Amino acid sequence: MLNDPDFPLFLAPMAGVTDTIFRQLCKAQGADVLTTEFVSADGILHRNERTQEYIEFDAQTERPLGVQLFGGDPERMAEAARAVMDWVHPDFIDLNFGCPVNKVVAKNGGSSLLKDCPLLERVASTVVKAVGASHPGVPVTGKIRIGWDDKSINAVQIARALEGCGIRRLAVHGRTRAQGYSGEANWDVIAEVAGTVRIPVIGNGDIASARDVKHRRDTAGVAGVMIGRAAMGAPWIFAQAKTFLATGEIPPEPELAARWEMIVGHCRLAVARRRHGGERAAMASMRARLMAYTRGMEGGRNLRGQLSHVASVAELEDIAVRHLDDVERKPAAAECVEV
């Protein structure tokens, strides 16, 4: 069953970003529903170690959680979905029909299925039947873009087809495949989908603040929203949005010291979890995350220069202490000048 709260906030699946550590962090900040990054049906069936890392989750803190699969072969997708259910027991299986990456599209996966509705339907219905037979009651959900390009926007047709196949909830990212991540998400199309099908539609694209969440709730007719890139730099967006929806007040962003504590804590967990390559490799893989976390911080340029070669948690802690010192000393210095 999908026991979503009134207006659920979803953390968008993001490859290389939404691992178990970040998912737990966002959950603690109020994200209601989590999804793993996408994994290929073949990766699941070969049970490779990388894939295992992608789909592992903490059953105490990450539910409800879905494992997202991609692939264009109905039978292999169904077999993979059943294998995932036996392997890690997620709350739902999510099918990716939106990934724009060439490597995925070339193998008939992700958004390429938006161009081939009969195959998309076969993938969806074969997975729904297989999961229904082996794990009754476990829902299969989907995530789509609004079409392949601006001449073939077909999200409404795709959504109807998926609903007919037994897909139980649909996330719609309001861009075409051709757009990649450029331009703006088209929320008119998302609203049209939400107004057409009976299954819950989760709107996704360019939500950057608690106000955006409320605006889309009030205007797009969606059952919930999904937040991706904005959460990378500001996971507290979920908590802010929750409070805003409930009370009309937006809580302030965490203080600088609390932000650094969260950033350092995230890195510490990433280092502890790293199976190969040790601390240096773990910190290297965290650099893009550090850039996102520090966007908008005072002295950002200088800070990012230092973070671009940080190699250990101890080094990061030093940078954080120096930054806090600099920022805290600044107003005092300014006051002295004025006096």
Ligand X SMILES: Cc1cc2nc3c(=O)[nH]c(=O)nc-3n(C[C@H](O)[C@H](O)[C@H](O)COP(=O)(O)O)c2cc1C
Q: Which positions touch ligand X (CB under 6 A)?
A: 12-17, 37-38, 68, 96, 98-99, 143, 173, 204-207, 227-230
Q: Are 120 and 114 in contact (CB under 8 A)?
A: yes
Residues 6+ apart with CB under 8 A from 37: 13, 14, 15, 16, 17, 18, 19, 54, 68
Active site residue 99: yes
CA dist 315 and 311 (Å) reads 7
Query: CB-wise, 124 or 207, nearer to ligand X?
Result: 207
CB of 13 to ligand X, least distance (A): 4
Residues 6+ apart with CB under 8 A from 60: none
Classify burial at 188, counting beta carbons within 10 Å of its beta carbon; exposed 0-12, middle 13-18, buried 19 or more: exposed
Query: CB-wise, 39 or 130, nearer to ligand X?
Result: 39
CB of 55 to ligand X, least distance (A): 12
CA dist 323 and 339 (Å) reads 25
C-beta nearest to ligand X: residue: 228
CA dist 2 and 314 (Å) reads 43
Query: CB-wise, 245 or 311, nearer to ligand X?
Result: 245
Kind of pairing between the strands at 34-35 and 170-176 = unpaired
CB of 232 to ligand X, least distance (A): 8
CB of 69 to ligand X, least distance (A): 10
Query: CB-wise, 237 or 320, nearer to ligand X?
Result: 237
Catalytic site positions: 99
